[in-house]
Each structure stands twice: as C-alpha cells, then as structure tokens.
Amino acid sequence: MDVSLKKEVAEELITYKLRRIQAIIEDILSRWKEKTIEEFLEKAKDGTLQEAENDAIELKQLVNEEEKLQNLLKKLG
C-alpha cells in the first residue's frame, strides 16, 4: 500500500514526535536530577544511581529514535 503525504505535514509530524521525545528525555533526567544524558547513563551503568536501569534503557531507545527522526527530517529538507 502506498501513501502520499505532503512534505509540510511530514515535517510537522516528525517535529511533533521529536518534541515529545525530548520532553520525555528531560523528564527522565529531571527525575534523577541529572543534567546530561551521558552523565545519567554512566551513573546508571556504574551503579551510582540505583534502580535506574529501566530508565537508562528507555533513554537509550529514545536517543536512537531521536537520531532516526533527525536524519529523516534532514532528508525531507
């Protein structure tokens, strides 16, 4: 099945999704009182932040999704 979509609509949808992902990332970092993704992941990995494993996994997935969407947005541009 083929679906056509106007470029502007696609950009708007991708941008919306990116904002949602960024908000969730900020929520996770705020919950753990961390400033950067890298610091959070390192502390989760070395055990400094106990019970952070699930959030670390989710954060990695969100970062990967964000990267894919950024690349897609660049291709549309």
Residue 14 and residue 34: Cα distance in Å, rounded? Answer: 27
Question: Would residue 1 count as lying in a domain?
Answer: no
pLDDT by residue (tens digit) across 5-44? 899 999 999 999 999 999 999 999 999 999 999 999 999 9
In a domain, 31, yes or no: yes
- Specify the number of domains making up the chain: 1
Q: Tokens for 54, please give them.
A: 């699930």
Is 2 part of a structural domain of the chain?
no
Domain region containing 55: 7-76
Position 20 in a domain: yes
Q: In sequence order, what DSSP letters do the residues of 13-66 get, joined into one string?
A: HHHHHHHHHHHHHHHHHHHTT-S-HHHHHHHHHHTSSTT-HHHHHHHHHHHHHH
Report how far residue 38's alpha carbon sits from residue 13's, in angstroms, rounded to the nearest whole number. 27
> What pTM did the predictor assign?
0.90
